[in-house]
């Protein structure tokens, strides 16, 4: 039977394939991904493909179609079942797979789903995803043949490996907010084996996400965790997104630590072992992060936002640690270079147990800044990159201190502001950080001026201030 398939163009993203189930994403798409991705693996001399899925209601049906497509291309498929995305990454390494696909909607609303992929142990993204789309549309796949499919429970090996790097010195009281994520089963088994007293909120894997949206970067999603930490007198709280590749942390006083603050503590610890090492953060990270890494004897490196891009840069620079403001934390120190919120949590609570003071004290000792949250506003896909180019050109002509690693990040006496085009949505993303509220107002004014100069209506930035 001949094969040819057209994807909804909005579903082929920079880092993954993602869409709204029943509208822009269907089981036929999953079959086509399996058929085409496995063909690409086989043409590169591989054969084994590991497949897993998250707890969304649509995931089992999509996983089933995905497996059928891969088997029809002659792949030997290893099905690891429902669990967190990092467990799929771990399975790819542990089983020495030639390719890996995770069915997951990550932190998107319940009606979304998608696919994250790895090939030959590396992220599969960008041009590779575009090539997959072209090959499917042309029907350019290996002839249909019969591969194999078997199930394997990797969870015990994964949990054992997570525990291997716990290095705490005193037991802690920890509250975990699973947020009904795909980590639920693995997390409950993990904390049983960790020292200390552990409480897991919303441990059931439930694709309706009945308690709160599964995104730990949004403060309102952490309110139950904050209350429980305060009520129980816990040392800290930890939260995950829908597929547990992103982490959120609150301290013993219920204050949120943002992604770059989490990374500062992890970096100080890693740099004791690797003095002078490169530590990577994305362009949205605070200047405080870069300053603190330097103080700790490291080489801070600012890089583009996007988990696939960060993983690739880590491998290139041999950095032992990297992170993003979104809560993706990547360890190459003792780990495998992929983003894993469960592993980051194990390492983080080990650090907290060795601090000799409450986590809140360490947080308060970091320099205080005022910043906006991440500001997102609509801009057509056909226009967003042009806007960035126009802004960059004007800034250069003005002699501004500007970095163009990913969009524009402008340094001034007040602090810095950032404007970049999202790689995954028709939006522009902005952020600003200053030492004073007045300085932040000036930065927001400069940002608004540039947007209006490119013919856009600047959003209302008033009230968009947050401590950091």
Residues that are catalytic: 106
By the 8 A CB rule, do 242 and 106 touch? yes
Q: How many Cα atoms are found within 13 Å in the side-chain-facing hemisphere of 237? A: 30
Could you tell me how far CA 147 lies from the centroid of its own chain? 32
DSSP state of 409: E
Q: Is the separation of the CB atoms in 316 and 439 below 8 Å?
A: no
Task: State how far Cα 42 lies from the chain centre.
Answer: 28
8 A C-beta contact, residue 73 and residue 34: yes
Helices of type H across 250-335: 259-273, 287-295, 307-317
Dist CA 94 CA 92 (whole Å): 6
Q: Kindly provide the residue ranges of all beta strands, DSSP E only, lying in 31-111, ordered along the sequence.
A: 48-53, 76-82, 99-103
Q: What are the tokens at 6? A: 């057209």
- Distance between CA atoms of 116 and 123, rounded to whole angstroms? 9
> Which neighbouring-strand residues pair with 236?
174, 251
Give the other-Cβ count within 10 Å of 59's Cβ.
25
Residues present in the chain in total: 468
At 220 the three-state DSSP class reads helix
Rounded Cα gap, residues 218 and 142, in angstroms: 44
Give the SS3 label for residue 408. Answer: strand
Question: Measuring CA to CA, which residue among 397, 461, 387, 453 is closest to residue 431?
Answer: 461
- Torsion over CA of 316, 319, 321 and 323, rounded to 10 degrees? -50
In angstroms, the CA 152 to CA 377 distance is 43
User: Could you tell me which residues are beta bridge partners of residue 323?
Assistant: 281, 329
Mention every residue, 6+ apart, whose C-beta is less than 8 A from residue 272.
Answer: none
């Amino acid at each position: 039977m001949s094969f040819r398939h057209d994807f909804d163009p909005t579903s082929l993203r920079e880092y993954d394939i993602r869409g709204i189930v029943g509208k822009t994403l269907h089981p036929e798409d999953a079959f086509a991904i399996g058929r085409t991705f496995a063909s690409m693996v086989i043409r590169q001399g591989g054969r084994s493909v590991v497949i897993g899925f998250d707890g969304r209601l649509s995931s089992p049906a999509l996983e089933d179609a995905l497996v059928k497509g891969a088997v029809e291309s002659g792949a030997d498929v290893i099905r690891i079942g429902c669990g967190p995305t990092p467990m799929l990454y771990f399975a790819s390494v542990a089983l020495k797979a030639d390719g890996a696909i995770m069915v997951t909607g990550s932190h998107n609303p319940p009606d979304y789903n998608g696919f994250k992929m790895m090939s030959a142990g590396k992220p599969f993204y960008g041009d590779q995803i575009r090539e997959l789309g072209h090959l499917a549309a042309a029907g350019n796949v290996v002839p249909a043949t019969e591969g194999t499919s078997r199930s394997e429970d990797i969870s015990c090996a994964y949990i054992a490996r997570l525990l291997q790097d716990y290095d705490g010195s005193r037991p802690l009281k920890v509250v975990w907010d699973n947020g009904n994520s795909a980590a639920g089963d693995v997390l409950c088994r993990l904390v049983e084996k960790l020292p200390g007293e552990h409480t897991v909120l919303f441990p059931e894997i439930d694709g309706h996400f009945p308690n709160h949206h599964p995104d730990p970067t949004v403060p309102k999603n952490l309110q139950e965790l904050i209350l429980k930490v305060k009520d129980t007198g816990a040392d800290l709280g930890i939260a995950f997104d829908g597929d547990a590749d992103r982490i959120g942390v609150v301290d013993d006083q219920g204050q949120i630590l943002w992604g770059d603050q989490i990374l500062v503590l992890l970096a100080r610890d890693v740099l004791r072992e690797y003095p002078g090492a490169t530590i990577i953060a994305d362009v949205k990270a605070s200047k405080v992060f870069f300053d603190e890494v330097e103080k700790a004897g490291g080489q801070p490196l600012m890089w583009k936002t996007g988990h696939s891009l960060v993983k690739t840069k880590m491998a290139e620079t041999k950095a032992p640690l990297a992170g993003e403001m979104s809560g993706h934390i990547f360890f190459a120190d003792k780990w495998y270079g992929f983003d894993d919120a469960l592993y980051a949590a194990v390492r983080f609570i080990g650090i907290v147990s060795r601090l000799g003071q409450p986590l809140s004290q360490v947080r308060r000792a970091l320099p205080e800044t005022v910043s906006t949250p991440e500001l997102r506003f609509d801009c057509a896909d056909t226009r967003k990159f042009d806007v960035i180019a126009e802004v960059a050109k004007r800034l250069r002509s003005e002699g501004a201190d500007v970095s163009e690693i990913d969009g524009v990040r402008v340094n001034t006496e007040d602090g810095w502001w950032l404007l970049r085009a999202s790689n995954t949505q028709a939006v522009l993303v902005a952020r600003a950080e200053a030492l004073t509220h007045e300085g932040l107002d000036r930065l927001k004014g400069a940002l608004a001026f540039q947007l209006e100069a490119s013919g856009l209506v600047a959003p209302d930035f008033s009230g968009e201030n947050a401590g950091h």
